[in-house]
Structure 1
Amino acid sequence: MFARTALQTQKYSFSQPLKTSVRYIRTFKQEDQPRLRINSVVPNFEADTTLGKINFHDYLGDSWGVFFSHPADFTPVCTTELGAFSKLKPEFDKRNVKLVGLSVEGVESHKKWIKDIEEVSKLKNFSFPVIADESKEVAFLYDMVDEEGFKNLGKGPVATIRSVFVIDPSKKLRISFTYPPSVGRNTSEVLRVIDALQKTDSKGVVTPIDWQEGQDVIIPPSLSDAEAKKKFGKFKTVKPYLRYTKA
């Protein structure tokens, strides 16, 4: 179901799909786990999903991605989360963002759960893939477990934590959130940070606390006043290192 992983060899590249054989006896070693840092290329993999088999990097293509995990199927908080993300899919589409979920149950279980999600959230059509990660391979690659869960990988049932990864079109990790299983996510914050990332990428600015689309942005201190005036026109100086301008 998956591509070869670091569990089988330490000579690997995350730009290539990582496959594993179900016949392989998996050992989840911390030294083999990739380090996910801001601006690192995220691991690629192949997996079965509710919309068929995907190659993760190929599926994202030239789009941004939001990849998020859930502790298990038929859990209350996850049901509300997946429903909320699905309702907001048109907003993610506007931003050229693809949504991809993950849970540690199988595809058939996911499909039955989606019927509940559609009923609870009053959705006509749940339309993004949910990965089946029964082997916990992807959970390992993306460190989607807590301390106790990591110790139990390969030994028994493990619930993934609520991880969120925002990935840009170059497949680099730009922002990640990590929540315990007991705390639901904030979809508005996910959209907000995507707006901020896309704004700062396109305009060469940075965003202040609680920034929302349409509000003033900050000119990076690396630009002189002369350079800032040439690039942005008018700006407001609060401190020599804190200058606001229109985006």
Structure 2
Amino acid sequence: MRLGATVPNFRAETTQGPIQFYDWVGDSWCVLFSHPADFTPVCTTELGRMAVHNHEFKKRGVKVIAHSCDKLGDHKSWVNDIKSYCRDIPGDFPYPIIGDEKRELAVLLDMIDEDSKHDPETALTVRSLYVIGPDKKLKLSMLYPASTGRNVDEILRVIDSLQLTTRLKVIATPANWTPGTKVMILPEVKDEDLPKLFPKGVEKVKMPSGITYVRTTTDY
């Protein structure tokens, strides 16, 4: 699954009923993420924190859906454990979990590590996370090993960056960027166009090379 690839329109059974992916996601952004196995400790924390922060995803127009190579019945039973452990999940569990016992979707979406992909007895999905745009194309991927849980704040941060730079195609976000801080203006933007694009001002940073390529603004 390379950036820019079209995510296929798959059918799946989930804890919230059967879905056809394109119909389910509609024109929304989507976070589709896999976890190695149900009834495991780190996965419990990950799905719990994604559920706790679901209102933040909804605020950004993002639908969330999880996946692993487990039985649908196990997912439904495990949800009760997640809610018990993460007591700050409001109401019902907010997003569906895909059951993929035969590993077909895991293989299709390239969510199994290199050492295990040909062994159905031992293969587990890695911690793959895909941010998918309304055009059904892959905008960002994160791949973590089973030993390392993800940071939900970082997931939200990159979604903010993706949505901002989709809306304003002449900027990019720098390292450690958070909403409200400075963004970088792309090199292809001409100096003479800056006042029209960023009427509140642009800062140009002098470099020892003499090349002015770092231009920042908070006007977005």
After TM superposition, which residue ranges in structure 1, 4 or more long, deviate above 3 angstroms? Answer: none
The match for 2:140 among 158, 165, 175 is: 175
Shift of 1:151: 2.4
Aligned pairs (5 A) from 1:123-202: 123=89, 124-153=91-120, 156-202=121-167
Shift of 1:107: 1.1
Query: Larger RCO: Structure 1 or Structure 2 (Cα < 8 Å, ≥ 6 residues apart)?
Result: 2
Gaps of 5+ in 2: 207-211
Q: Deviations over 1:95-129 (max 9, x none)?
A: 00000000111111100000000000013321100
| 2:174 aligned partner | 208
| 1:222 aligned partner | 188
Aligned pairs (5 A) from 1:1-247: 36-122=1-87, 123=89, 124-153=91-120, 156-204=121-169, 205-233=171-199, 234-239=201-206, 240-246=212-218, 247=220
Q: Deviations over 1:59-82 (max 9, x none)?
A: 111100000001111010000000
Work out the percentage of aligned pairs sharing the same amino acid: 46
TM-score normalised by length of structure 2: 0.93
Alpha carbons 1:206, 1:218 under 8 Å: kept = yes
Alpha carbons 1:71, 1:103 under 8 Å: kept = yes
Shift of 1:165: 0.2
Distance 1:237 1:146 in 2: 44
> Structure 2 counterpart of 1:59, which letter?
W
Distance 1:72 1:141 in 2: 18
TM-score normalised by length of structure 1: 0.83
> Structure 2 counterpart of 1:141, which letter?
L
Alpha carbons 1:219, 1:228 under 8 Å: kept = no
